[in-house]
Amino acid sequence: MEFKTKKNQNASVDLKLTFDKNDLEKAFEKTYKEKQKDLKIPGFRPGKAPIEMVKRHLGDSVANDAINLLLLETVSELSGKLEHKIVRFPKFTVEDYVPEKSLVATAVYDTDPEVSLGKYKKIKIKLPEVQVTDEDITEELQFVRKQLARKLLREPSEGAENGDIVDMEFEVKEDGQEPKNAKNGSSDYKLGEANNLPGFDDNLYGIKTGETKNFTYTYPSDYPREDLAGKKMEFAMTLKAIYKEVLPELDDDLASEYDGSSSLQVLKDKIKTDLQKNYNEAVKSKKMEEIYKELVADSKFVFPESYLTEESEHVYQNMMQDVLGRGQARIPKEQIPSIEKYAEMVKKPLGEVRDSFKTIAENRLKGYFSRQKLASAENIVLTDEDFDREISTLASRYGMSDADFKKELEKGKLLETYRDNFLAKKIDDTLFQLVEKKYNEKMSIRQLKEFLSNKETGEVWQ
């Protein structure tokens, strides 16, 4: 067998295979023996006919099977010899076939994408410097106090106040209508919370335990439940119990109860360290997108068309899963409309729709392969020690032993996914260390929350 290759400019390779008489004989011989196992010839039990009789009986009718076997074995044999590796089995065309003499077959196969990284060590980014203030620590301690808060039952003579927790029973009906349901109840409802219905709690302040108050309330016009949005409803509200929320004092006992800290100052130091670490990581994560965008913009990529086609379909399928399944149930693929049908639904030209998904797909591929190329350029690998260390960190976070955590991942067939994620994190950490960084301003945690909420657009590096 002889082979010739020619590299194309679109990450594909022309392949030409030439087989002689000896190659064909071997392929036919193997095919005849395979067919012999099930062949029925009068006078012989199935699979027992002599091989020479099998050859005479089948003749050249096995040519297609023999040629396919020959091509399959040849591609497998060539996998380690080709300069540009085959990433998926190609579709061959038989250019010339002379029975028992020669065969010429050609194919165009996809090879690895071509990536030329830009000057990533010259990338410059500006970072806010995380500054944990006393106010930030006080705010975190307030969260701690709320977590450890106790409920103190109010006296019957005391009315409900802002911040109280109430157990209530109520009957509700549309203004002027008869009630449709029996009485409703709700426990541990906290008055004055930011996510409560606007203005609703004003009707409850001052009510005492056991008292019933009748009032009307008009739901906001943008209320998520369409059957209630904008409607005026009548409530008959009875508070069954009212609890005053009692926050613990900020002292050493609080620190000990919360996490076993020996003193309040030790707890404050822990909070400061954790805030510093967590927000440095958050800033880094946000800036990584900026870094990868700049790296991708300064790099060159050549992808086989099949990569773009497959990734575009993957992007489309994921989007439809989110839309149809609302992030809950997995929708069977056959229930997802074709991209042609989707184009009709959104009333856009098919070409425009395909291009939009192709753009997203191309950005994702650029992010993924730039990361892989960087790993190769910087000799970044995930060692077994790296993997075990990351597993140990996650296991402790979930309160599990390393062995038990690994078993759970194995059950869900997630070990390799986690391994890939750990490697990606190591690559990102390396890249972050290599770029030029300048800390341009100090930000408190409150300021950083606002900074981090301003999300970047695009999906380059995920």
| Contact in structure between 375 and 423 (CB atoms under 8 Å) | yes
Residues 6+ apart with CB under 8 A from 25: 100
Topology of 258-453 in CATH?
Answer: Trigger factor, domain 2 (1.10.3120)
Angle between helices 445-453 and 134-147 (to 10 degrees): 80
Note the pTM of the prediction, 2 decimals. Answer: 0.70
| Alpha-carbon gap, residue 392 to 385, rounded angstroms | 10
Q: What is the dihedral of CA 108, 109, 111, 115, to 10 degrees?
A: 40
Alpha-carbon distances of 54 from 38, 236, 239, 387, rounded to whole Å: 11, 92, 92, 56
**Domain range annotation of the chain:** 2-112, 150-246, 258-453
Does domain 150-246 sit in CATH 3.40.50.970? no
The domain 2-112: what is its CATH number? Answer: 3.30.70.1050
Tell me if 150-246 shares its fold with 258-453. no
The conformation of residue 202, written as its DSSP 8-state character, comes to: G
Provide the residue-wise pLDDT of the chain in tens; the chain has 462 residues. Answer: 999 999 998 899 999 999 999 999 999 999 989 988 888 888 788 778 888 888 888 888 999 999 999 999 999 999 888 989 898 889 999 999 999 999 999 999 999 999 999 999 999 999 999 999 999 999 999 999 999 999 999 999 999 999 999 999 999 888 777 766 667 888 889 999 989 999 999 999 999 999 999 999 999 998 988 888 899 999 999 999 999 999 999 999 999 999 999 999 999 999 999 999 999 999 999 999 899 999 999 999 999 988 999 999 999 998 888 888 765 667 888 888 999 999 999 999 999 999 999 999 999 999 999 999 999 999 999 999 999 999 999 999 899 999 999 999 999 899 999 999 999 999 999 999 999 999 888 899 988 988 888 754 444 444
Vertex 302 angle, CA 299 and 308, to 5°:
115
